[in-house]
Structure 1
Amino acid sequence: MDLAWPVIAWALWVAALAAAFKVSSRERPREASRYDAPVPVVELLRGMRTQEVFHAALFDLAGRGWVTVEGDRLTLAPPRREPLLPYERWVLDRVAARLRGRPQAPVMALTPEGTDLDGEFVPLVRQTAIDLGLARRRWPNMIVPLLLAAALVVPWYVTIATAGLSWPGMIATMVSFVAGVSLLMAGRGFLLTGTGREITGPDREPANPRQEWIYTGSGWHGVEIEPPGSPAPGSERQEVAGHIVKRWSVAEVDTDAMSSGRSYYVALHDGSSEKARSYVVKETLYHDVLPGDFVRLLVKPRTGKVVRLLAHERHW
């Protein structure tokens, strides 16, 4: 079985794919945006979760007087004459629909379903990023991905004609199917521009990192939080469980080491105590949980540091 021709066919297709991606990755000259990037757009470009981008939009609207957020309760403010971006109008419309005439409601109850956020909200935020020059489409239209997907027929046919239904033919069939579907599902693509990469770089912190909502559904009154490392009975490590009622981050500077960093915290309420207890967490865990989530943590009581996330449930 001579596989020379299949190898050549696949090599040519891979070369065409690489060339297309290389050409599409070139920056296209464009006039710089005259507007500051909205926080929700920056959060999306930084890879934050959809729910967090939605809540960033709520806080952004609250800062401009469109809504009022007190604790974990949101109230719609009287309409203003200020123009809104399409995704902001979408957020206000969904919030108004979920309020159903009530004067206020918990922020959690006003958060749309994930499918709605991914299917309607995120495309609007992405389009805003494109309009501001922070991102662009990889392909100007669908012709290139369609041609690349259609061109997969050539190496697939050459492989099948040479090897039949043996393992090379089966691999070629699987690769052709996965690659073709991936090209079509990705659509026109979405890439950050130079400006977009600059404002979302690792050295850039999100705006207002302490601006977080709280959760009072566990019975916590939103007032007292014990600091990390509070005296607590138990061994060197122990399990704690409860609802995340608040989370926040604090910028810290080490003058001796001439370095700076950021510490991340979550407050946990067990559902019966008067106070919530705070813990130090890693950045990854901080971004994985939201107020209202029920978690079970393995912690070091003396230092208040979380060792491991043992369980995580979200009911909204």
Structure 2
Amino acid sequence: MTAWALWFAALAAAFKVSGRDRAPRQAPAHTVPAPVAEHLRGMRPQDVFHSTLFDLVARGWMTIEGDRLSLAPPPEQPLLPYERWVLERVRARMAGAPRAPVIALMPEAADLDRRFVPLVRECAIDLGLARRRWQTMIVPLLLAAALVVPWFATVSMSGISWLGTIATMVSWLAGIGLLVSGRGFLLTARGREVAGPGPVPVNPQQEWIFTGSGWQGVEIEPAPASRARERLEAAGHVVKRWVKVESVGDNGSRTRYYIALHDGVSAKATSYEVGAGVYRDVLPGDSVRLLVKPRKGAVVRVLAHDRHW
């Protein structure tokens, strides 16, 4: 047990030292790109990809009408690596077609995690918003290799038993976790400012919609108010999400998050207020079942969630 205590002490010390803020390599001298800010706020990769599309639309690389995207003649301006990756994926998925549904251009989740997210993180690091936990892979490699000592001591003492099995599983999972996480990714002080908890920038022209359930992308009505005391259930496809920032007092503000559900039959979708966590977790296209407060049309919790992506 002493060997395990020493290893965990070394792990805690390494994380404590590496977690200290350092002087930023480069202070951001311009506005942080919206996709980078969304990634720092913990939004899902699909959200960040979608935000990148609208950034490219705003700069003339493509156009979006409703839920259809078309490529435009490329302007003479540089692209960041993650933007170039998105543009290449869009061109490949359109395969020469003049336009395509935005939702059909989304890459697979594994592709986003493996190739797109690292490029966004590199941009955040270049802007001084984040840094690597480890300067090199030497520290995680040494920590993973050092697991052999407590594992061998435990197995030698207990042999083939439940204790030896647990030691083997812990060593395997901890070692793999250290190696897979690589050099790590930590926000700097500036990155934490960008990540929140300030108000979320609102741009109604960049709302992501899903029309695969039969919704026409136009009409949304608030959830009907009810005097019923019992909480109600609502189910359907998430077809739209949006944010409203309201002024509170002289200088304060309050951010409200909303999603719209479509039941696959009605002409209109129904809107519900949700918490920030639910807003980040669900995406247009997801199928959900919600528990709702009938008087306010506010979501209490998500009862079921079938991810479209």
- TM-score computed with the length of structure 1 as normaliser: 0.87
State which of 199, 202, 209 in structure 2 corresponds to 1:205: 199
Task: Answer yes or no: is the 8 Å Cα contact 1:294–1:312 preserved in 2.
Answer: yes
CA distance in 1, matches of 2:163, 2:263: 57
Secondary structure class of the residue paired with 1:229: coil
1:13-32 pair list within 5 angstroms: 13-29=7-23, 30-32=25-27
Pair 1:101-2:128 in alignment? no
Pair 1:75-2:70 in alignment? yes
Match of 2:144 in 1: 149
Rate the CA distance shift 1:170–1:300 in 2: closer, same or farther, 3 A. closer
Match of 2:305 in 1: 312
1:81-120 pair list within 5 angstroms: 81-120=76-115
Rate the CA distance shift 1:17–1:298 in 2: closer, same or farther, 3 A. closer
Match of 1:182 in 2: 177
1:252-263 pair list within 5 angstroms: 252-255=246-249, 260-263=253-256
Rate the CA distance shift 1:305–1:31 in 2: closer, same or farther, 3 A. closer
Task: Answer yes or no: is the 8 Å Cα contact 1:39–1:206 preserved in 2.
Answer: no
What one-letter code is carried by the residue in structure 1 that aligns with 2:39? L
5+ long unaligned stretches in structure 2: none
- TM-score computed with the length of structure 2 as normaliser: 0.89
Secondary structure class of the residue paired with 1:154: helix
Q: Which digits, 9 at most, give the CA deviation of each residue in 1:203-256, with x for residues without a partner?
A: x23333643122223333322222343689x99554443332222121123449
CA distance in 1, matches of 2:126, 2:223: 44
Match of 1:292 in 2: 285
Task: Answer yes or no: is the 8 Å Cα contact 1:229–1:279 preserved in 2.
Answer: no
Task: Answer yes or no: is the 8 Å Cα contact 1:42–1:206 preserved in 2.
Answer: no
5+ long unaligned stretches in structure 1: 1-6
Rate the CA distance shift 1:221–1:31 in 2: closer, same or farther, 3 A. closer
Rate the CA distance shift 1:34–1:283 in 2: closer, same or farther, 3 A. closer
Rate the CA distance shift 1:230–1:14 in 2: closer, same or farther, 3 A. closer
Return the offset for 1:62: 1.3
Pair 1:270-2:228 in alignment? no
Rate the CA distance shift 1:148–1:65 in 2: closer, same or farther, 3 A. same
Return the offset for 1:177: 1.9
CA distance in 2, matches of 1:231, 1:172: 56
Secondary structure class of the residue paired with 1:156: helix
Return the offset for 1:46: 1.4
Return the offset for 1:300: 4.5
Match of 1:129 in 2: 124
Rate the CA distance shift 1:172–1:72 in 2: closer, same or farther, 3 A. same
Rate the CA distance shift 1:297–1:155 in 2: closer, same or farther, 3 A. closer
Task: Answer yes or no: is the 8 Å Cα contact 1:137–1:188 preserved in 2.
Answer: yes
* Bigger radius of gyration: 1
Task: Answer yes or no: is the 8 Å Cα contact 1:244–1:266 preserved in 2.
Answer: yes
CA distance in 1, matches of 2:167, 2:291: 47
Q: How many residues align?
A: 307
Stretch moving more, 66-75 or 273-282:
273-282
Q: Which digits, 9 at most, give the CA deviation of each residue in 1:141-163, with x for residues without a partner?
A: 21111111111222222333334
CA distance in 2, matches of 1:308, 1:235: 16
Stretch moving more, 91-100 or 21-30:
21-30
Rate the CA distance shift 1:144–1:100 in 2: closer, same or farther, 3 A. same
Secondary structure class of the residue paired with 2:85: helix
Q: Supply the RMSD in Å over aligned alpha carbons.
A: 2.5
Match of 2:2 in 1: 8
What one-letter code is carried by the residue in structure 1 that aligns with 2:267? E
